[in-house]
């Protein structure tokens, strides 16, 4: 039986949150055709992202009710707005009941939290808002990716690629994961070197995170109060 890895799509996602791990797992599906990838949404309409690029899902939620794995990308204000998207949350909850893997990238972990899937679990998200995962009963962890049972969460944006490679290793072993990494030529060498996390100034990011929450949750005052207090 073909195992479907479903990526969740909603308006305003951060593109790399989706296409980074999607590329990794699409490559994996070429190595192992017992897996396939799909991009699912409530409907089949083309949706905007946080860039000029628009994307379209391959399937509706109804067409893939029980995926083998599901991965939820994040974004800015639209990701927080999605905390009130009941059709999205309902599908995530239902799919998670039978899925062997539940994953997220960046602020997609807040959608998992709103769906009730992070209670008592270690999880991560973008460094600027990671601490707020505690509002959903999670233990925030400052790691590139975090694995807690069936749940895999990745930190900000590009970390989704790392998380997806870890998932390939988990499903098919180190040799296959290394082959996929080589196939996509993932060998990060940023021109400015690695991030100096000791110098990361969370306080300077606070106005941005506050504005992001207020914009995304403008129509959800109870959720805004939950995350801001």
Q: Which residues are catalytic?
A: 106
CB atoms within 10 A of CB 164: 30
Dihedral (Cα; 40, 173, 159, 20), 10-degree rounding: -40
C-beta separation of 70 from 93 below 8 A: no
Please give the structure tokens belonging to residue 79. Answer: 């990701």
Q: What is the rounded distance in angstroms from the CA atom of residue 114 to the CA atom of residue 222?
A: 12
Q: In b/e form, how buried is each residue of 96-131, taking b as 16+ CB within 10 angstroms?
A: beebebbbbbbbbbbbbbbbebbeebbbbbbbbbbe
Q: How many CA atoms lie within 13 A of 19 on its CB side?
A: 11
């Amino acid at each position: 039986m073909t195992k479907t890895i479903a990526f969740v799509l909603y308006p305003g996602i951060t593109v790399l949150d989706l296409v980074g791990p999607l590329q990794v797992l699409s490559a994996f599906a070429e190595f192992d055709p017992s897996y396939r990838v799909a991009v699912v949404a409530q409907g089949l309409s083309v949706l905007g992202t946080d860039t000029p690029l628009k994307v379209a899902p391959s399937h509706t939620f109804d067409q893939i009710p029980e995926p083998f794995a599901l991965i939820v990308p994040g974004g800015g204000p639209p990701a927080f707005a999605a905390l009130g998207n009941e059709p999205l949350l309902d599908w995530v909850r239902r799919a998670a009941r039978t899925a062997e893997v539940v994953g997220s990238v960046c602020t997609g972990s807040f959608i998992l939290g709103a769906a009730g899937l992070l209670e008592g679990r270690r999880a991560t998200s973008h460094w600027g808002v990671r601490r707020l995962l505690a509002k959903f009963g999670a233990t925030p962890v400052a790691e590139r990716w975090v694995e807690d049972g069936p749940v895999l969460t990745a930190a900000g944006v590009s970390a989704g690629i790392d998380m997806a490679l870890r998932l390939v290793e988990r499903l098919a072993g180190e040799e296959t994961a290394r082959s996929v990494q080589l196939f996509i030529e993932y060998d990060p060498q940023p021109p400015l070197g690695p991030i100096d996390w000791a110098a990361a100034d969370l306080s300077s990011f606070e106005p941005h995170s506050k504005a992001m929450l207020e914009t995304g949750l403008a129509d959800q005052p109870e959720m805004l109060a939950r995350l801001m207090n």
